[in-house]
Amino acid sequence: METRICKNCRTNFAIEKEDFNFYEKIKVPPPTWCPECRQQRRYAWRNERILYKRKCDLCAKNIVTFYSPNKPHKVYCIECWWSDKWDPTSYGKDFDFSKPFFEQFRELQLLVPRIAMFNRGGINSEFTNHSGDNKNCYISSCCFFGEDIFYSNWILHSKNCIDCTYIYGEGEKLYECVDSRKSFKSQFCFFVENCIDCMYCYDCRNCNDCFMSSNLRNKKYIFNNIQLSKEEYFDKLSKLNLDSNNERKNLLKDFYKMLKEKAVHKYIIDERNINSTGNTIFNSKNAKNCFDVDGVEDVKYVISAAGVKTSMDLYHIGWKTELLYEAHGGEGYYNCKFCHHSAYSRNTEYSDSCNACEDVFGCISVKKGKYMILNKKYSEKEYKDLKEKIIEHMKKTGEYGEFFSPSISPICYNESAGSYYLPLSKEEVLSRRWQWEDDIPGTYDKENTSMESLEDSIKDTKDDIIFNILKCEDCNRNYNIVQNELTFYRNENIPIPRKCSECRYKRRFDLRLPRKLYKRKCMKEGCLNEFETPYSLNRPEKIYCEECYKKEIY
């Protein structure tokens, strides 16, 4: 193991022997930034949630996009970008060895059209981003094969869900649920699997009709972790005014209190793994310092990924990927490095929004390209010779081996995932010479009804609520209720939310653990086990090692 000083934050970080072996295998120099700073650099290239309206720079129709109208880039609607109406090679440039690579790449960025949204095959799902194959989905991101999904993110193969986060599949009629699998008709549930008709529950498996309870397995009719008969359970439930906003506020406070004071928390969330570290890891082998991954193998510093093998330093990478390093977005990579959202490609480096490409370097928005550098075509020999010369040039300028800087990201830092996971003030962002967006969308002071005048109960809520403009009780931003949303609330007996969708998202975001590990000891009296966990030392929850957790729960 070798210790180095991060070029960005100046803290020490370790590079282990197996890391050096990987770098040698893919022929890249060791990183100069620590793992967290490398991840921050990738965060800065991802805008999931902030959407704008602007015109397509080709067909001139009004479009929804994650690029603000004041960005200097050309933006094409999805249909135009995928069409044959333009040619990415027409923007091809010769490489200039008197200038740094990233400077030339930035010049190309300002010429080549960008796709408005990463949204494929959707039906009536215009307002979904980084998503695909959805129907009737609205204001959601990272949503795939979903139907009637609203205000949610990272939703797979699910339907009729509102305000949910990380639903890994087969979820239906869920509301305000986080980290759920195969659950139905449940509300305010966190880390549950195969649960039906559960509310305000944490860490439950194969449970039906449970309320305000935690750490349950194969249970029915549990109320506040007390076993009741069926009649007793529904009698207690009937005495709660679940249709009332005031009642729901109190229940949410009780839920948070239960999470902190009563629930037992395993030191990490993981299932069916071998030799892996991090959190929210499933069905994986040799995954080190990984978070929110499923079905990965021999990977390190990977976040939000599925079906990836033998790779390092990735963020939001999909299926059928192998030998990938320092990349964000996309799927189907093989032997690629330093790529941004370039899917189904082989042997690509420093490429942005390229699809089905092979042997391209420094290209943008190329489809089915081969032997290309800065969007210009070459013969195989010309490409290989020039590529090696450029890499040597980049090594001299200190550029090769580094992911794209946030300073040339087509989005601003406060629009990016970094603003949630590693937030910075405007002053901090600008001091790094990164970018900041001052004109974040949102309306204020346009409400036509007061929160005080809203009916407390969904049963009393009138149909004309969909014509009202509301004011978030937290951030004061205006928001509205759409018809399908209102129908869901009525069907599931849920009062109209008093917070905007962004504040509701942040509430769920805060429930999840940070993507960082701390050394701690098991809190079970008499246990001396130590471990790495995303629960920091100052958190109030009861954190148990795996052995003590299993004894307590099973």
With a CB cutoff of 8 Å and minimum separation 6, the contacts of 253 are none
Answer whether residue 332 is part of any domain.
Answer: yes
At 291-308, the pLDDT tens digits run 999 999 999 999 999 999
What one-character-per-residue DSSP string does 240-308 give?
A: S-TTBHHHHHHHHHHHHHHHHHT-EEESS-EES-BS--EEEEES-EEEESEEEEES-EEEEEEEEEESE
CB count in 10 Å sphere of residue 460: 11
Answer whether residue 429 is part of any domain.
Answer: no
- Candidates 451, 287, 402; CA nearest to 30 is 402
| Count of structural domains within the chain | 3
How far is Cα 169 from Cα 204, in angstroms, rounded to an integer?
Answer: 16
Answer whether residue 57 is part of any domain.
Answer: no
Q: What is the pLDDT of residue 72?
A: 95
**27 φψ region: left (φ > 0), alpha (ψ -120 to 50), beta (else):** left
Q: What is the pLDDT of residue 302?
A: 98
DSSP symbol at 205: E
Range(s) of the domain holding residue 540: 518-553
Q: What is the pLDDT of residue 554?
A: 81
Low-confidence ranges of the chain (pLDDT < 70): none
Q: Which pair of tokens denotes residue 239?
A: 């005495």
pTM for this structure? Answer: 0.93
How far is Cα 225 from Cα 212, in angstroms, rounded to an integer?
Answer: 7
Q: Which pair of tokens denotes residue 344?
A: 């189904």
Q: What is the pLDDT of residue 346?
A: 96
Answer whether residue 188 is part of any domain.
Answer: no
Question: Burial level of 237, CB count in 10 A (0-12/13-18/19+)?
Answer: middle
Answer whether residue 101 is part of any domain.
Answer: no
Q: What is the pLDDT of residue 319?
A: 87
Answer whether residue 91 is part of any domain.
Answer: no
Kind and range of the H or E run holding 550? helix 546-553
Domain stops at, among 370, 403, 436:
403
How far is Cα 106 from Cα 350, in angstroms, rounded to an integer?
Answer: 12
Question: Burial level of 303, CB count in 10 A (0-12/13-18/19+)?
Answer: buried
Answer whether residue 305 is part of any domain.
Answer: yes
Answer whether residue 352 is part of any domain.
Answer: yes
With a CB cutoff of 8 Å and minimum separation 6, the contacts of 45 are 328, 329, 340, 404, 406, 409, 410, 411, 416
